[in-house]
Chains A and B, each alone.
Chain A
Amino acid sequence: MAADFNWAVGGEAGDGIDSTGKIFAQALSRAGRHVFTSKDFASRIRGGYTAYKVRTSVDKVQSVVDRLDVLIALTPRTIEENLDELHEGSVIIYDGERTTMQDVEIPEGMIGLDVPLKSLAEEAGGAIMRNVVALGAACEVAEFPIENLDSALEKRFKDKGQKLVDNNKEAARAGQSYVAEEYDHEFDYSLETTDEDYVLLNGDEAIGMGAIAAGCRFYAGYPITPATDVMTYLTGRIERYGGHVVQAEDELSAINMALGAARGGARAMTATSGPGIDLMTETFGLIATSETPLVICNVMRSGPSTGMPTKQEQGDLNQMLYGGHGEVPRFVLAPTTIDECFWKTVEAFNLAEKYQVPVYLTADLSMAVTEQTFSPDTFDMDEVEVDRGNVVDETTIDDHMSESGGFQPHEITDDGISPRAFPGTADGAHMSTGLEHDEQGRRTEDTDMRVAQVDKRNRKVETAREREDWSPREFGDADADDLVITWGSNEGALAEAVDILDEEGQDVRVLSVPYIFPRPDLSEDVAAAETTVVVECNEQGQFADLVEHDVLERVDRVNKYNGVRFKADELAAEIKSTLEAGVEA
């Protein structure tokens, strides 16, 4: 892979860290470079350290590394927090005039660039642009054509007037020339540009876009980190396609609104994170029993309880698989990459309607807030298919009537899938309920009907197993003796870890599994492997437990649960030591 460049801006929450990082990431993306971003943030609005990191390369990038080449430090703490990642030759841009930065010590071997960010910004039209001055300085250091920054600034500020755009461009140039003139220094970087056009988006945005593409028209949600971006994305956009977003009073309301819209015949969705899923669980059972198609997105964060709301974890798997009283079939989809967040959302809507089940669509914090570049045709809207399943209309409804003439929304069928009638369909009036019911939807405690309905609902899972493709994605060395299995956002880091392992002479075969339930049968893969390692961001190894349950064999585990996602080099080392320990045993 061509040398990649790692950059970060850090300071206190409220310092405009996010927008500064985003502008730089966009400038890189617009210059035809691949970008992968990550955020360190604390659960506070002002005060509290926060950073936005950008990794960029001409080749695809899909994970973070422990390395920083250029750091814009708005506070001394920014340097402390990133000390491990800084290296000999790293450049630190800071404003020595700022009171808190006056005594800052630049670590041995690193290059400190003291740039009067605030003063230069004021000259260009306002102190608020000091971060843009820093971006201009960074362009000079990285030998990155500043015109690309201009175009990102235009995108960002054009709605606020040309004057603001011009001032910002001037501020960027002030930073650039200051470094050029004051520091007669050759830096090690030269960021190449290409003619490629990329789009830059995060997992939450990809889910929102997938929802609109799939025909989702109604969204109800209650704000919660890190799922809020889904709602923010949909607000103002879904309306253009005839839809509507409601900010509900709580998650109980949100899921019930979505349920109502789904019974009305709309494709509906709600998104939340762990605590919200807990609140939704009672209604989840109703949705499943009433066989209502609904997509419930769970963007996982660190639990239990309020846990660490701004940190990574993949700890809700058991909750999604088993949460709720009684037994109900549900599907659980877990995209493993940002582009897959889009496609799996589309698939989630189709599966929900084809099988009339609630579908959990789960992402995790790392994927939700991380932005990555893609070629626009990754999201080819012409490829989107909408399959609404077995919906009856005035002409077909007659085939699904009881002897007494009532429509049968819970008809016992061989494949477990019953007909569905939207309100307004003549002769389709029927009751949906969480009570056990007969084929017409009426309450029953008849023992035979109870068994028939439970079996019918479960039969859908078998049908789906037969009709759909649940295969995992495979990479690494197909003939390797050792197998690594993962799910969720670890795929990117794992893909790079495989390259690192390969260089060290360690071949592994990797399966990245986007389907938790139904899920692929991995028994042959595990049987064929000498050692199997399951990688996931939780302590208990919830997915590893499932694999063991399915294949009736012990597997090894690599787990991380300190709130930070896996990094490629770290993961490679962990896998290697686990495999070596396995061999010794």
Chain B
Amino acid sequence: MSSDIRFTDFKSDKQPTWCPGCGDFGTMNGMMKALAETGNDPDNTFVVAGIGCSGKIGTYMHSYALHGVHGRALPVGTGVKMARPDIEVMVAGGDGDGYSIGAGHFVHAVRRNVDMTYVVMDNRIYGLTKGQASPTSREDFETSTSPEGPKQPPVNPHALALASGATFIAQSFSSDALRHQEIIQEAIEHDGFGFVNVYSPCVTFNDVDTYDYFRDSLVDLKEADHDPTDREAAKDVILDNEKEHQGVIYKDESSVPYHEQHGVDEDMSVLPDGAPEGATDLVREFY
């Protein structure tokens, strides 16, 4: 790892094909800056991406990366981290990827408290498949698959996370570049599962949850005197459906990540040329 790493080192030479103005540009920039700022470089970083417009992020960044199948990025990240506790793992995907097809994995990755950062680019719509309702779409949001609105309450990912025993819950807004970067950075530095829901507007299919909407409605928890170590206060923020928040909502400072709890500290990629030392003991057990 060299100390003169700049965030542009995390940029690949592929030009993003996101729509001009897509929130994902800002989300990605903040992630790259946060990675550089926390002392990482592309060769010690592994980015796992989901499927969706958001999932293309792995292609536009430069690092070790895997672009997985729809909804399964978190288990991949878990596997990477277990094999390589020495590697910085970041998982990114959309709200559909994470809270619909991948909702089960979300709950379990949270409760395992695997030491990685999970960035969900929440645009409250399915972008890549051209504008269907997503699990975070509003009840009355009209889309091609919900002409009168989904008529179901949106998923509250933070509540899901808190209920699952999350040790770090945050939200940011991709166009508030500085705050977004700051929050991602804090998630990276957290020992455990750092979950950040990022408002990352889709300018093509969502004309309700727009930049203007978020800019006008966001309450910054830093200015609201919120104590993120207070679980009760976090609960209030999370269950307050009237407001949109940004900032670190909850943080358990005594969090011990999964691999430490399970005593996993070795780089599993290093192997001897034959059976491991003491392997004969395995045969003896069958006497």
**In the complex, what distance in Å separates the CA atom of A384 from the CA atom of B274?**
5
Residue pair B283, A434 in contact (C-beta under 8 Å): no
Q: A253-B72, A266-B268 are in contact. Are A424 and B86 (CB under 8 A)?
A: yes
| A54 vs chain B, min Cβ distance (A) | 16
Chain A residues within 8 Å of B273, by CB = 385-386
Chain B residues within 8 Å of A240, by CB = 278
Stretch at the interface among B61-69, B143-151, B184-192: B61-69
Interface of A is mostly: mixed
Cβ of A541 under 8 Å from chain B: no
Give the residue of A30, A217, A256, A425 whose beta carbon is less than 8 angstroms from that of B75: A256
Residue pair A259, B83 in contact (C-beta under 8 Å): no
Cβ of B179 under 8 Å from chain A: no
- A-B contact count, CB below 8 Å? 221
Cβ of A505 under 8 Å from chain B: no
Cβ of A87 under 8 Å from chain B: no
**In the complex, what distance in Å separates the CA atom of A429 from the CA atom of B61?**
10
Residue pair B87, A424 in contact (C-beta under 8 Å): yes
Cβ of B133 under 8 Å from chain A: no
- Which residue of chain B has the shortest Cβ distance to A425 in the bound complex? B43
Cβ of B79 under 8 Å from chain A: yes
Residue pair A265, B269 in contact (C-beta under 8 Å): yes
Chain B residues within 8 Å of A215, by CB = 271-272, 275-276
Give the residue of B68, B83, B263, B279 whose beta carbon is less than 8 angstroms from that of A381: B279
Residue pair A209, B68 in contact (C-beta under 8 Å): no
Chain A residues within 8 Å of B75, by CB = 220, 248, 252-254, 256-257, 260
Cβ of B113 under 8 Å from chain A: no
Cβ of B77 under 8 Å from chain A: yes
Chain A residues within 8 Å of B264, by CB = 244
Residue pair A249, B79 in contact (C-beta under 8 Å): no
Q: A244-B264, A283-B72 are in contact. Are A430 and B82 (CB under 8 A)?
A: no
Residue pair B65, A213 in contact (C-beta under 8 Å): no
Q: A261-B268, A264-B269, A388-B271 are in contact. Are A433 and B67 (CB under 8 A)?
A: yes
Chain B residues within 8 Å of A250, by CB = 104
Write the B243-287 contact mask toward A (1 if CB under 8 angstroms, else 0). 000000000000000010011101111011111101110111011
Residue pair A213, B275 in contact (C-beta under 8 Å): yes
Chain B residues within 8 Å of A290, by CB = 66
Write the A433-464 contact mask toward B (1 if CB under 8 angstroms, else 0). 11100000011000000000000000000000
Q: A213-B275, A422-B269 are in contact. Are A264 and B46 (CB under 8 A)?
A: yes
The total of chain A residues at the interface (CB under 8 A) is: 74
Give the residue of B80, B274, B282 whose beta carbon is less than 8 angstroms from that of A382: B274
Chain A residues within 8 Å of B271, by CB = 215, 217, 267, 386, 388
Residue pair B275, A260 in contact (C-beta under 8 Å): no
Cβ of B42 under 8 Å from chain A: yes
**In the complex, what distance in Å separates the CA atom of A200 from the CA atom of B71?**
42
**In the complex, what distance in Å separates the CA atom of A199 from the CA atom of B274?**
22
Q: Size band of the B side of the interface?
A: 35 or more
Cβ of B78 under 8 Å from chain A: yes
Q: A253-B75, A261-B83 are in contact. Are A429 and B287 (CB under 8 A)?
A: no
Cβ of B210 under 8 Å from chain A: no
- Max chain A Cβ within 10 angstroms of own Cβ: one of B64, B67, B287: B64
Chain A residues within 8 Å of B77, by CB = 260
Write the A30-41 contact mask toward B (1 if CB under 8 angstroms, else 0). 100000000000
Residue pair B287, A262 in contact (C-beta under 8 Å): no
Cβ of B240 under 8 Å from chain A: no
Give the residue of B62, B76, B108, B283 whose beta carbon is less than 8 angstroms from that of A259: B76
Cβ of B48 under 8 Å from chain A: yes
Give the residue of A217, A220, A442 whose beta carbon is less than 8 angstroms from that of B59: A442
Write the B42-53 contact mask toward A (1 if CB under 8 angstroms, else 0). 111110100000
**In the complex, what distance in Å separates the CA atom of A213 from the CA atom of B272?**
10
Q: A381-B280, A429-B42 are in contact. Are A266 and B269 (CB under 8 A)?
A: yes
Residue pair A201, B286 in contact (C-beta under 8 Å): yes
Chain A residues within 8 Å of B259, by CB = 244
Chain A residues within 8 Å of B45, by CB = 423, 429
Cβ of A246 under 8 Å from chain B: yes
Q: A264-B84, A379-B283, A423-B84 are in contact. Are A431 and B79 (CB under 8 A)?
A: no
**In the complex, what distance in Å separates the CA atom of A262 from the CA atom of B286?**
29
**In the complex, what distance in Å separates the CA atom of A62 from the CA atom of B208?**
70
Residue pair A218, B64 in contact (C-beta under 8 Å): no
**In the complex, what distance in Å separates the CA atom of A212 from the CA atom of B272?**
12
Chain A residues within 8 Å of B269, by CB = 264-266, 422-424
| B11 vs chain A, min Cβ distance (A) | 12
Given pairs A249-B105, A256-B79, A423-B44, 12 additional interface contacts (CB within 8 A):
A200-B287, A237-B282, A242-B276, A253-B104, A253-B108, A263-B46, A264-B269, A265-B269, A266-B269, A382-B275, A426-B43, A434-B67
Task: Please list 22 pairs of residues, one from A and one from B, whose beta carbons are closer than 8 Å in the complex, sorted by A's number.
Answer: A199-B283, A199-B284, A199-B286, A215-B272, A217-B268, A218-B83, A220-B75, A239-B263, A252-B71, A253-B104, A258-B79, A259-B66, A263-B66, A264-B82, A376-B283, A381-B275, A423-B43, A423-B84, A431-B58, A431-B67, A434-B67, A434-B68
Please name the 3 residue pairs, one residue from A and one from B, whose CB atoms are nearest each other, closest first.
A260-B79, A265-B269, A264-B83
